[in-house]
Amino acid sequence: MSQDAMRVTRRSFLVGLNLSLAGLAIGLPALADEPSGRAGPSPRAAAPEDGPGLRPNPFVHVAPDGTVTLVCHRSEMGQGVRSTIPVLFADELGADMKRVVIRQADGDKKYGDQNTDGSSSIRKFYDDLRYVAATARTMLVAAAAAKWKVKPETCEARGNVVVHVPTKRTLGFGELAEAAGNLPVPKRENVKLRPKSELGWANSTSLPLLDGPAYVTGQAVFGADLKLPDMLIAVIARPPVVGGKVARYDATRALQVPGVKRVVEMPAAARPYGFQPWGGIAVLAENTWAAMRGRAALDITWDLGDNAGYDSVAYRDTLLASVHAPGTTYRNLGDVDAAFAKAARIVEADYVVPHLAHLSMEPPAALARVTGGRCEVWSPTQHPQAARTQVAKTLGLGEDAVTVHVTLLGGGFGRKSKADFSAEAAFLAREAGVPVRVQWTREDDIHHDYYNTVNAQQIRAGLDAKGKVIAWQHRTAFPPISSTFSDADRPGITDLQQGVLDLALDVPNVRAEACPAKAHVRIGWYRSVYNIFHAFGIGSLIDEIAHARGADPREVWLDIIGPPRIMGLAALGIEKLANYGESLEKHPVDAGRLRRVVERVTASANWSERKKDGRGYGLAAHRSFVSYTAVVLAVVPDERNKVRVDEAWICMDAGLVVNQERAHAQMQGSVVMGISNAFFGGVTMKGGATQQSNFRDARIARIGEVPRKIHVDLVPSDGPPCGVGEPGVPPVGPALANAVFALTGKRIREIPLVRGLSG
């Protein structure tokens, strides 16, 4: 991060803590009225962590003046990771938060995996990060013990000092930093973690939002907020269809727009598209407005390429046909065909979920500077290492010649894992010979997204005479994300981990099949990914079974999940489970945890009384990112949209949660995003081009379209941390469809629900 950006975030960190510790009003220094200097990265001055002191690993530095620098190697995009990882560190270390500086890591493999996706920041790094801090603490304690000639076990680190407990002598972290820095770094087995009772976060439900003061004063630095001397702003006219090219163009009129300095043709993208820039014509100007006007004045003839025949309405039928025929079986238990043959009744339905666009409030933007064979990029990226790799590739440089700094992200949701916009800025900065900031418009964001994939499912359940489910067949078809990187034309076993293979079913005969689906647009990660549609199909069908039986949906959910038990591969009827990169020993498929969230959420929502208040109630539950979440929504009639969600209850078992306050916020946000997905979600393509262009036709929920009350219940747990950012979203869609059915009697099996309601 730039020096100035770092200064701002450091200040906000300190301010945030003062607020939390003393309950005082926030006290930012008065703002200059002309802060253009603030937004400009200056040549990097020596940061405290570049000087002497204790540096046992790339994450922690203790300076001789007592300043503790803690590195956040994951990107902040609203999940609160910058308010979580540093707290985890500081508590384990015994640092005084007032002496802590948070530094956002550049993209560098020395930090391990920095790809901020998959709800993995705490899930994957919880143990490692605690050891990172505990290692530094062990060394500070050892240095103090050596000075005092006492045993280290008689010393404690807290409040930025080491205390010799029997004599109450103290030495500050700063006084110890250099001596500790000269000690050998202890091996992990010789480092002891603190007990939970000593960890402030473990006993707090109200950790402060450390960047909060910066957010509410306009000081937070996002992708488009940085400025370099001589910088130009680029706005790019990209081919309307992925894989298209510029046939010819005339920039005469564009160059006549005052402020426009240059017009540059971008390299065309070739299949597989990966993270390559999308191609097109870039207009570089002194300011964003001139660049936009310049782009509008371009005269371009496109060669639309192979994908120009893509029509998502026609493709919906292709996908449905795909799931109406057998696919590749990845889950097989018992004898499904025999069980269907003897079933007393079959409940069967097709479900369709369209492409979803990310619609982060901050459209992609990135700044780059190329000088002397080196490139420096400032980007709101979820994946700075991938950005570094793609920038190096686009420029033909070694990765060592590329530095990627990470700004704050104005939402990511998976879109900003991709490096295309960072590489665009780098390419243009080299071509222009001056720093260039690429600014995507909202239309660009919607037209050139890496969409959540499009899906059709057919799910069949065979019931015996008593209504018990004895057979389950699940077919799913969707172009997988791997199609963006290869010629994959159907989902594979890894793709089916998301809600199909890991579904806890107390059913003796189960089969799940993946069916063909070719991609025609760039497919990418989107918050909760394939779980969105799998939870929608499964959660809707379970409700349909309940109504077919005339039974309470809650009882049918619990009946189908079955008794509490750990389900191994054999019990699931599968050969392997990707399990979000986790072992089944640490994160098994636990039917008991899925049951528990259903039980807790229905208790909170007073489910058994649901028929008394005139509202329509819907329930759904889902396992994803090794967490378990259940949702109840209550809907009421609404003039504008026919239905409005009036109240929501969400219960998540995510194992141990480090920052309960941010997890609570994530659950509230998940309900809102789940409502947007299910109610309004979906973009369509005609002639290969996306038809929607801004928030008027690519809708997301507004304040009056979401519940005023969202009740959040986090299951208390000391189990290994699981995902938090994504698992809240998947059950919301089916809960909403089920609630709509309860209120209106209308069963809508296709997203967006608002279309089914008005049809």
Partner 1 sequence: MSVRIRVNGVEKTLDVDPDMPLLWALRDVLGLTGTKYGCGEALCGACSVHLDGQVVRACVTPVRRADGHAVTTIEGLSPDGSHPLQRAWVELGVPQCGYCQAGQIMTAAALLKAKPKPSDDEIEQSMAGNLCRCGTYARICAAIRKASGMPEGER
Residue in this structure with the two tokens 């069967």, named with its chain if needed: 348
Interaction between residue 39 and partner 1 (CB under 8 A): yes
- Residue 296 is encoded by which pair of tokens? 């509008």
Among 126, 131, 148, 222, binds partner 1 (CB under 8 A): 222
The least distance separating partner 1 from the CB of residue 207, rounded to whole angstroms, comes to: 9
> Is 175 among the residues that bind partner 1 (CB under 8 A)?
no
* Tokens coding 690: 């996306």
Residues 372-431 that bind partner 1 (CB under 8 A): 408-413
**One residue of 18, 69, 79, 482 binding partner 1 per CB under 8 A:** 79
- Spatial distance between the Cα atoms of 569 and 576, rounded to a whole number of angstroms: 7
Q: Which is nearer to partner 1, 130 or 262 (CB)?
A: 262
Q: Which amino acid is at 69?
A: T
Kindly state whether residue 297 participates in binding partner 1, applying the rule CB under 8 A: no
Query: 6-25: which residues touch partner 1 (CB under 8 A)?
Result: 15-16, 19, 25
DSSP string, 43-92: SPPPPGGGSSSEEEETTEEE-TTS-EEEEE-S--SSS-GGGTHHHHHHHH
In the complex with partner 1, the residue whose CB is nearer, 472 or 649, is 649
Question: Segment contacting partner 1 (CB under 8 A): 29-37, 100-108, 266-274, 585-593?
Answer: 29-37
Q: How many CB atoms lie within 10 A of CB 259?
A: 17
CB of 458 to partner 1, least distance (A): 32
Half-sphere exposure in the Cβ direction for 330 (13 Å, CA): 25
Q: With respect to partner 1, which residue has the nearer C-beta, 140 or 207? A: 207
Distances (CA, A) of 503 to 103, 468, 474, 624: 40, 17, 11, 10
Q: Least distance to partner 1 from the beta carbon of 228, Å?
A: 12
Secondary structure of 692-757 in the HEC alphabet?
Answer: CCCCCCCCCCCHHHCCCEEEEEECCCCCCCCCCCCCCCCCHHHHHHHHHHHHHCCCCCECCHHHHH
**Measured distance CA(708)–CA(706) in Å, rounded:** 6
294 binds partner 1 (CB under 8 A): no
Q: Which two tokens stand for residue 73?
A: 């190697």
Rounded CA-CA distance 83/211 in Å is 7
Which range of residues in 500-508, 605-613, 627-635, 688-696 is near partner 1 by CB under 8 A? 688-696
Quick one: which of 56, 64, 66, 78 contacts partner 1 (CB under 8 A)?
Answer: 78
Kindly state the smallest distance separating residue 415's Cβ from partner 1, in Å.
11
Among the listed residues 621, 620, 605, 625, the one whose alpha carbon sits nearest the alpha carbon of residue 707: 605
Question: CB burial class (10 A; 0-12, 13-18, 19+) of residue 334?
Answer: middle
Closest distance of CB 581 from partner 1, Å: 25
Q: Which of 212, 274, 562, 756: binder of partner 1 (CB under 8 A)?
A: 212
Q: Which residues contact 144 (CB under 8 A, 6 or more apart)?
A: 155, 162, 164, 171, 176
689-690 and 685-686 beta bridge pairing: antiparallel
Question: What single-letter amino acid sits at 107?
Answer: G
Q: How many CB atoms lie within 10 A of CB 444?
A: 22
User: Which residue is associated with the tokens 């203790």?
Assistant: 62
Q: How far is the CB of 644 from partner 1 (least distance, A)?
A: 11
State in angstroms the smallest separation of the CB of 227 from partner 1: 7
Q: Among the candidate windows 223-231, 238-246, 487-495, 579-587, which touches partner 1 by CB under 8 A? A: 223-231
Per CB under 8 A, 694 contacts partner 1: yes
Residues 427-486 interacting with partner 1 (rule: CB under 8 A) = 439, 441-442
Q: CA 522, CA 278: separation in Å to the nearest integer? A: 10
* Listed residue (476, 630, 455, 470) closest to 545, CA to CA: 470
Stretch in the footprint of partner 1 (CB under 8 A) among 35-43, 145-153, 193-201, 467-475: 35-43
Considering only the stretches 53-61, 146-154, 183-191, 220-228, report the one whose residues sit in contact with partner 1 under the rule CB under 8 A. 220-228
Considering only residues 44, 196, 215, 576, which one is a binding residue for partner 1 as defined by CB under 8 A?
215
Query: Smallest distance, Å, CB 710 to partner 1?
Result: 5
By CB under 8 A, residue 288 contacts partner 1: yes
Structure tokens at 673: 């995003």
* Nearest distance in Å: CB 76, partner 1: 8
Pairing label, strands 328-333, 509-515 = antiparallel
CB nearer to partner 1: pick between 688 and 723: 723
| Residue among 219, 379, 394, 677 that touches partner 1 (CB under 8 A) | 219
Task: Confirm or reject binding of residue 671 to partner 1 (CB under 8 A).
Answer: yes
Q: Which stretch binds partner 1 (CB under 8 A): 332-340, 357-365, 506-514, 604-612?
A: 357-365
Nearer Cβ to partner 1 (68/359)? 359
Write down the least CB distance from residue 222 to partner 1, Å.
6
Residues in the chain: 759
Q: Which of 670, 690, 692, 738 binds partner 1 (CB under 8 A)?
A: 670
Nearest-approach distance from CB 260 to partner 1, in angstroms: 12
CB of 214 to partner 1, least distance (A): 8
Q: What are phi and psi of 433, to 5 degrees?
A: 75, 10
Instruction: Single out the residue of 557, 530, 702, 560 nearest to residue 617, CA to CA.
Output: 557
Q: How far, in Å, CA of 217 to CA of 214, rounded?
A: 5
Total site size for partner 1, rule CB under 8 A: 87
Q: Per CB under 8 A, which of residues 614..643 are in contact with partner 1?
A: none
**Minimum distance from CB of 15 to partner 1 (Å)?**
8
Q: Is 290 in the site for partner 1 (CB under 8 A)?
A: yes
Q: Which is nearer to partner 1, 144 or 359 (CB)?
A: 359
Pick the binder of partner 1 from 216, 247, 296, 338 (CB under 8 A): 216
The single residue among 38, 261, 547, 746 that binds partner 1, judged by CB under 8 A, is 38
Residue with tokens 């006993």: 203
What is the DSSP track for 435-499?
Answer: -EEEE--HHHHHHT--BBPPEEEEEEEEE-TTS-EEEEEEEEE---GGGGTS---S--TTGGGTT
Which residues are within 8 A (CB) of 396 and not within 5 positions of it... i.e. 6 or more apart?
A: none
Q: x/- contact string, 120-159, with partner 1 (CB under 8 A)?
A: ----------------------------------------
Question: Shortest Cβ distance from residue 258 to partner 1 (Å)?
Answer: 6
Three-state DSSP class for residue 287: coil
From CA 724, how far away is CA 175, in angstroms rounded?
39
Question: Taking CB under 8 A as the criterion, which residues in 558-587 touch partner 1?
Answer: none
| Residue 260 engages partner 1 in binding (rule: CB under 8 A) | no
Nearer to partner 1, 127 or 697 (CB): 697
Binders of partner 1 in range 301-340 (CB under 8 A): none
Q: Edge to edge, what strands does the sheet with 161-164 contain?
A: 155-158, 161-164, 169-172
- Tell me the per-residue interface mask from 699 to 738 with partner 1, x by CB under 8 A, - otherwise: -xxxxx-xxxxxx---------------------------
Nearer to partner 1, 31 or 569 (CB): 31
Member of 209, 281, 356, 754 binding partner 1 (CB under 8 A): 209
Nearer to partner 1, 155 or 207 (CB): 207
208 scored as a contact of partner 1 (CB under 8 A) = yes
Q: How many helices (H) and strands (E) does the chain have?
A: 19, 29
The residue (of 729 and 742) whose beta carbon lies closer to partner 1 is: 729
Q: Mark the segment that binds partner 1 (CB under 8 A) among 329-337, 371-379, 615-623, 670-678.
A: 670-678
How far is the C-alpha of 653 from the C-alpha of 252, rounded, in Å? 60
